[in-house]
Structure 1
Amino acid sequence: MTTITEMDRKILRALMEDGRQPNTQLAETVGLSPSQCWQRVRRLEEAGIIAGYHARLNQELMGVPEIVLVEITLERNEGYQLEQIGQTLAELPEVLEMHVTSGEFDLFIKIAVSGTRGYEEFLKNKLYRISGIRHSRSIFSLRCFKNEMSYVPHG
């Protein structure tokens, strides 16, 4: 396991703000030489702490502005495998996130759709065609106050 220093945390926070910034700018932001900064970033990447770099898309401009949170309950007595259903859901492009949960329902997914009609199409043509799903309950997100991929805990 890689030890994460306070300097590593500074680098990670700066990369979360702008993952495309040049190494020289990142080094200046965190107070390191460019070579020291580059070495630390490489070490964090190799250790898997930095799992990748992503572009955050504007879902509204992409034509799928509605976010729907869906709770899914699976059939219990017919031998359906959570892994199979999870993989099937993960392959659907509308599914942005998927979590196995504890409590009343088994899976929680976050999807992007084009309004109620888009959601109806997703239900009819995709979700309801997956064997082993007993019940789903939907919640439309009215507004998002925060949308982060991860966070850097304090050391």
Structure 2
Amino acid sequence: MKLDKTDIAIIRELQADGRQSNLALAEKVNLSPSPCLRRIRQLEEAGVIKGYAAVVDQQKYGLPLTLFVRITLKRHKRDVVDTFEAAIRALPEVIECHLLTGSADYLLRVMAASLQDYERFMREEIHEIPGVSAIDTSFSLMQVKDSRVFRKP
């Protein structure tokens, strides 16, 4: 699907506030409500809009720690990679997992309630995944920016 400037405006508005009414959204993007709703449905059907979610304060939810974990695998054979990726997908503590270039193979974003919770997670979950050769963790001291609205050039 080729996105035009109206599609991009709709997406940006929905990223900023996914609960706004179609009437309010249509007004912001200079469309009448019916064509606006039709465009939203097309964006959803094309998979451009993948879903809607609540933005939750992780501190108030009880998961104040954010950790970035770099993982290096022993080997890069298909079975090792598939086993690792399947294990990571099953772990609710892992919020994001990215395949990387460079010295580490994967970067995980993990949320935890405490240092003890993170230690348990590492010992009982990550250390048990076959094929992991190195783990390097960094703790986030503060989130400087958190944007869910991205810009298209």
TM-score, structure 2 normalization: 0.93
Q: Percent identity?
A: 35
Aligned to 1:86: 85
1:34-73 mapped onto 2 (5 Å cutoff) = 34-73=33-72
Alignment correspondent of 2:101: 102
- Unaligned 5+ segments in structure 2 are none
CA distance in 1, matches of 2:76, 2:10: 49
Q: Distance in 2 between matches of 1:55 and 1:123?
A: 28
CA distance 1:66–1:56, change in 2 (3 Å): same
Corresponding residue number in structure 1 for 2:29 = 30
Q: Which residue of 2 aligns with 1:144?
A: 143
Paired letter, 2:21: P
- Please give the alpha-carbon distance, in whole angstroms, between the structure 2 residues aligned to 1:34 and 1:81: 50
Residue in structure 2 matched with residue 116 of structure 1 by the alignment: 115
RMSD of aligned Cα (Å): 1.6
SS across alignment from 1:40: helix
Flag the 1:63–1:29 CA change in 2: closer, same or farther, 3 A.
same
Segments of structure 1 that go 5 or more residues without pairing to the other structure are none
Q: Which whole-Å CA distance do the structure 2 matches of 1:47 and 1:152 have between them?
A: 19
Amino acid at match of 1:40: R
Cα deviation for residue 150 of structure 1 reads: 5.8
TM-score, scaled to structure 1: 0.92
For the residues of structure 1 that align with 2:10 and 2:123, how far apart are their CA atoms? 45
| Deviation readout 1:2-38 (Å, 9 max, x if unpaired) | 1111011111110000011111111111111000100
1:14 equivalenced with 2:13 (yes/no): yes
Partners in 2 of 1:11 and 1:77 — Cα distance? 41
Task: Report how many residues are paired.
Answer: 153
**Corresponding residue of 2:124:** 125
Deviations 1:54-84, CA, capped at 9 Å, x for gaps? 1121111111110000000111288752122
Cα displacement (A) at 1:147:
2.5
What is the DSSP-based 3-state SS (H/G/I as helix, E as strand, rest coil) of the residue aligned with 1:81?
Answer: helix
Quick check: 88-97 or 114-123, which moved more?
A: 114-123
Contact in 2 for aligned 1:68/1:140 (Cα 8 Å): yes
